Structure 1
Amino acid sequence: MTSKDCTVKNIERIVLNIPFHPRCERVKELRVFGWSVVELCRVTLSSGVVGVGETLPNYTFRRSTDELFNKVIGHNLFDHLWDDTLGAGLQMALFDAAGKHLGIPCHRLLGIQYRDACPVSWWAQDMPPEEWAAEAVAAIEHGFTTMKVKARPWFDPDQQMEAVSAVIPPHFKMDMDFNGLLLGPDLAAPLISRLEDKYPNLAIVESPIPQADVAGNAALRRKIRSPISMHFGSPPIMTAIREGVCDGFVISGGANQVKKQGVLAEHADMPFWLQLVGTGLTTMFSVHQGAVLSQARWPAIPCINIYSHPLVRDLQVKGGHIEVPQEPGLGIELDPDAVERFRVDPDFQKPVQRQIHTLLWPDGRKSHYATGVYRDQFLAGKLPGFLPGVSLDARLDDGSDEFDREYREHFGE
């Protein structure tokens, strides 16, 4: 084995359109419809070793372009392994190829193994109470013990948590992500306190109010019992630690950034979860990273449960954890039949469907929107949020005359 064997000979891009799971398809098409598009990067070395990675071009921190491919082709892969500017798919494929070339799992390239299995969470967006409950049941059936949910001001969180609590065991935990939509401690403190008192399964609250509100977050943390999680870097990390605005972090990005932020969190003795979104490939790369970062003890958020197929074989979650692979590279087996089944043209553009969003206010009023623009109105404090009994009816164009008539009635042509 020589250094020439490590030269990147070729890179292939394969574009897939993976259907969302029928259980959550409606809300995913409404909220993150572009996430079904996945770009595989297949890197071939001069030695014949092949590494595979993936990018969600409509979400991941950076897309791996042809220009970036050309930057790596003809060069030793170890010269570029830690370059986050390559994008998620290419960097992941290089790590996979490097591990296979050396005959070691990716986590040995990332650091010293700290844990044998990594915690992982189910993910659900804003849904009616019965759909959150169905997601929780599915999570339990698939071996998960935690579910992170998107709490939104157009739903009543008490009704949602009540529905979930009726179907989950005491050990199953719920993490609620408000994305700042509780606005300030005046609204956040009493609402979260009520949920804490009523639902012992509530675990972590993420970004309950805008993260830039340093004083507000510090005050809120003193008023509630639940740990607060915030995205690393906002406010600046030393401000967050010094002012005590949160109990832990959400960490994402390229391998170099994740490593640096994870080590800093370790020095601060603050836990975090990894939020690297994708199919089974990204999920397992996240496991390798979590294996070497001691404070990655909060359940990671890979969002793998939103897809109808994980793209890999034999991915198992047991007791809310995924075992850290010891096989070379990512330690996964890509399902070639699934890849071919979901493969689309390189210039594939997913068609946009018309939508009708109807806010159902507790007093019987209805407000209609053609998109989810009402989120900005809630975030700006122009609409009252989290009212008891509030709900949302959001629908996609089903091709029926009835939908067309209603759409034109509300929004014109």
Structure 2
Amino acid sequence: MKIVDVKLQLAEIPLEEPFHSTWNPANPETTLFVSLVEVITDDGIHGYGAACDSSQLLAGIWESHIRPLLIGKDISEVEAINTGLVNASLYAFRPWCVEVAVWDALGKYAKLPIYKMLGGAKSRVLAYASTGELKSPEERAQDAQRFIEEGFTMMKLRAHHDDPFEDVRIISEIKKKVGDRIKIAVDANQGWFFSGNRVVAKWDIKKAIKVARALEEIGIEWLEEPLYGYDFEGLAELRKSTSLNIAGGELNAQVHEYRELLKHGCFDIYQMDVVLSGGFLQNRKVAAMVEAENKIYTPHTWTHGMGLAAALHMAGAVSNCPFIEYCYDPPHWNYTVRDLMLTEPLAVEKDGYINVPDKPGLGVEVNHELLDRYTVLRK
């Protein structure tokens, strides 16, 4: 059960069609980035985890901070490894895929899927179709009809125009077209900003309150990331000012930041990410903290197939996760694109639920042939 080696493989897979995400405006995504970590034990077990970037920063501290942290450790020493990664994260960019790989190896050793080792609350989770581009009301109404036919009962739209009331108008039109056939949530992507060729205007607290109250009238399920993710007082004030559920937290890091979010009463729905924000261990701790406040925990998942698999195991482990984000925006972001690094994509069933992988560890198989073809760096 000792870790004898740990490897890093950075791959950049070209996409056939560019994806115009709202969180990176004017910079279409043309590449699927995968940072694959492989943990090898003296028993011959190989555990895998992956981030959604081509992390040269992680590669830069691989020999100095990652290998010394893991080599010789028992794979069951996840608390010590996670603590070490907290320190490593001060030097590198989100090293949590390393911890995911350790859990994958541990699950394979124990012959159990990760969600059962972390609590085993359920084996299936209700999925909602999470879109990522801005489209016309007519196009989104067509998408909604497709989602309904595929079994989804909820979808998430983006609000990312410079004038947020243009978003309100569009969302209102979409809601009128789909009626009560599918529930709608809205993501404003205001929690963090990418400094690209075009930055969408920020919302302040007054603007966020006005938008939230307008969306109340439309009848949406929640408003996500309406303010900067570290504006604890502003988020708390907004939540008190609206009957809408407020969601967020995808890029807040580690348990202490979530303690502050909870202490201020910032959200009704907490969306910590396994791969981006602390690994399985810290997500499990935060999910318990959120449950103690009688709030919803549901992991953020807009990464790729490996990230979704990790999120599914967290969702299946806890009792306060009623639904999960399923990144899906055809034609440019189909689940087959999202899951290119897997031998089989993670698909939703006809009743709108998705099964938590039930094989040991993460329960998914890496498409090594594809990743090897597009590898840009190995450590």
Using structure 1 for the length normalisation, give the TM-score: 0.69
2:77 maps to: 79
1:286 aligns to what?
Answer: 311
1:13-61 residue CA offsets vs partner (Å, 9 max, x unmatched): 3322234473x62446845738721111222322222222111236899
Taking the aligned partners of 2:67 and 2:153, their CA distance within structure 1 comes to 39
Distance 1:63 1:170 in 2: 48
Q: Say which SS state the counterpart of residue 115 (structure 1) adopts.
A: coil
C-alpha separation between the residues in 2 aligned to 1:207 and 1:247?
A: 12
* Bigger shift: residues 214-223 or 245-254: 214-223
Matched, 1:109 2:140: no
Question: How far did 1:206 drift?
Answer: 1.6
Partner residue, 1:9: 4
One-letter amino acid of the structure 2 residue matched with residue 12 of structure 1? K
Q: Following the alignment from structure 1 to structure 2, what is the Cα–Cα distance between the partners of residues 333 and 268? A: 37
Query: Quick check: 2:19–2:28 contact (8 Å CA) kept in 1?
Result: no
| Deviates most, 216-225 or 115-124 | 216-225
Q: Which residue is equivalent to 1:118?
A: 125
Q: What's the counterpart of residue 364 of structure 1? A: none
Aligned position for 2:19: 25
The AA in structure 2 aligned to 1:145 is T
Q: Deviations over 1:370-393 (max 9, x none)?
A: xxxxxxxxxxxxxxxxxxxxxxxx
* Inter-partner Cα distance in structure 1 for 2:147 and 2:58: 29
**Alpha-carbon shift at residue 278 of structure 1 (Å):** 2.4
Q: Which amino acid aligns with 1:261?
A: V
Task: Indicate the RMSD between aligned Cα atoms, in angstroms.
Answer: 3.6
Aligned-residue sequence identity (percent) comes to: 19
Which of 161, 167, 171 is the aligned partner of 1:157? 167
The range that moved more, 240-249 or 262-271, is 240-249
CA change 1:161–1:29 in 2 (3 A) is closer
Equivalents in 2 of 1:212, 1:162: separation in Å? 29
Q: Distance in 2 between matches of 1:77 and 1:213?
A: 37
SS of the equivalent of 2:105 reads helix
Aligned residue identity for 1:41: V
1:13-412 correspondence to structure 2 within 5 Å: 13-20=8-15, 22=17, 25-27=19-21, 30-31=26-27, 33=29, 36-57=32-53, 65-67=61-63, 68-80=66-78, 83-84=81-82, 85=85, 87-110=95-118, 112-130=119-137, 132-133=140-141, 136=144, 139-140=147-148, 143-154=151-162, 156-162=166-172, 164-165=174-175, 168=178, 170-178=180-188, 179=190, 181-184=202-205, 186-197=206-217, 199-200=218-219, 202-210=220-228, 216-231=234-249, 237=258, 240-241=261-262, 244-252=265-273, 253=277, 254-300=279-325, 306=333, 308-310=337-339, 311-312=341-342, 313-318=344-349, 319-341=351-373, 343-346=374-377
How many residues get paired? 336
Q: Where does structure 1 lack aligned partners over 5 or more consecutive residues?
A: 1-5, 348-413
Per-residue Cα deviation, 1:146-176 (whole angstroms, up to 9, x for no partner) = 3333312425113431453366462422222
AA partner of residue 321 (structure 1): Y
Amino acid of the residue matched to residue 69 of structure 2?
A: K
CA shift, 1:95, in A, is: 1.2
Find the aligned partners of 2:292 and 2:313 in 1 and give their Cα distance: 20
1:100 deviation in Å?
A: 1.1
Higher RCO structure, 1 or 2 (CA under 8 Å, sep 6+): 2
Q: Who wins on radius of gyration, i.e. which is larger?
A: 1
Are the structure 2 counterparts of residues 37 and 237 from structure 1 closer, same or farther at C-alpha, using a change threshold of 3 Å?
Answer: closer
Give the aligned partner of residue 356 of structure 1: none
Q: Which amino acid aligns with 1:10?
A: D
Letter in 2 for 1:172: I
The 1:132/1:65 distance shift into structure 2, 3 A limit, reads farther
Distance across 2 between alignment mates of 1:95 and 1:34: 31
Q: 1:141 to 1:9 in 2, by over 3 A?
A: farther
Whether the 8 Å contact between 1:62 and 1:88 is mirrored in structure 2 is: no
Write the distance in 2 (CA, Å) between the matches of 1:148 and 1:62: 32
Give the drift of 1:104: 1.1
Distance in 1 between residues matched to 2:324 and 2:40, nearest whole Å: 33
Structure 2: gaps (5+ residues) = 89-94, 192-201
Checking the alignment, whether the CA contact within 8 Å between 2:20 and 2:29 is kept in structure 1 is no
Alpha-carbon contact 1:82-1:255 (below 8 Å) kept: no
Distance 1:242 1:95, change over 3 A: closer
Deviations 1:353-377 (A, max 9, x none): xxxxxxxxxxxxxxxxxxxxxxxxx
CA contact (8 A) 1:189 1:224 kept: yes
Secondary structure, in 3 states, of the residue corresponding to 1:127?
coil
Distance in 1 separating the partners of 2:28 and 2:99: 24
